Amino acid sequence: MEFTEPPLMKHQKSRKHWTEIIQQLKANPGKWALVGNYSPGVATHIRRGKYPAFLEGWQGSPEQTLLYMGRHWEVTTRKTGEGRNDVFIRWIGDGA
């Protein structure tokens, strides 16, 4: 037996990861960025506003969340094989 602290939960690590990515995307509005190679569901979850980091400072209903994400973010993927996709994201800004 070993007494030790458990590792951080995955969502805690990914929240910081996504926050850093979002800061860089917002600093470069309109520019596509390859943010990583993920399972196909990641892009879908981003589009649907399931990652809180993309909604920082915004509040609304689930229906409004979809509209917000569509007006402020673009997400696309390219298959890379073995059930993985390169995920590209760009910050549109305030919909201008």
Q: Which pLDDT tens digit goes with each residue over 45-83?
A: 999 999 989 998 888 888 899 999 999 999 999 999 889
Residue 19 forms part of a structural domain:
no
Task: State which amino acid sits at residue 91.
Answer: W
pLDDT at 96 over 70: no
pTM of the model: 0.81
Structural domain total, the chain = 1
Residue 9 forms part of a structural domain:
no
Residue 26 forms part of a structural domain:
no
Structural domain harbouring 43: 32-96
Residue 85 forms part of a structural domain:
yes
The predicted structure's pLDDT at residue 35: 96
- Average pLDDT of the residues in 80-90: 94
Mean pLDDT of all residues belonging to the chain: 89
Residue 18 forms part of a structural domain:
no
Backbone angles phi, psi at 47, to 5 degrees: -55, -35
Residue 70 forms part of a structural domain:
yes
Residue 86 forms part of a structural domain:
yes
Residue 67 forms part of a structural domain:
yes
How far CA 3 is from CA of 6, 95, in Å, comes to 9, 51
